[in-house]
Structure 1
């Protein structure tokens, strides 16, 4: 459910983080900024800065498990199911 008024502070960050995976336009709308993505991004950067966190954009709020990563190590498995 989208907020009727623009969110600020920690509540804005929580809302933005919850909607970050869905994209900038949806996160902007859900956080109460309608179609004003510039104001949303400015408010989000300000809220994060107030908490001592520097972000470049909404994608910085994605959890590390949501961001594509390269697997670490190698996979060890049999070549066929019969060679277990």
Structure 2
């Protein structure tokens, strides 16, 4: 497996799972040039981060992303989570 690594980036995040993508987004929002390396060539169909706990909801709320996350979870599962809808 070969990776196209750009040496001119401020940060490299390894893994495009929920944590890696949020980390990359936070770094980019702070002005960093970020690249993400993922071993899979295609997105996985497996559900990742199937629940949102209180600290995660608070972090999303700080970035005003709570409604987007709720909407995405609602549409992926065909229903809401923790009794909340989008």
Fold match (TM-score > 0.5): no
Write 1 or 2 for the structure with the bigger share of helix. 1
More strand by share: 2
Q: Which has the bigger relative contact order, CA under 8 A and spacing at least 6?
A: 1
Largest Rg, 1 or 2: 1
TM-score normalized with structure 2 length: 0.31
TM-score, normalising length from structure 1? 0.31
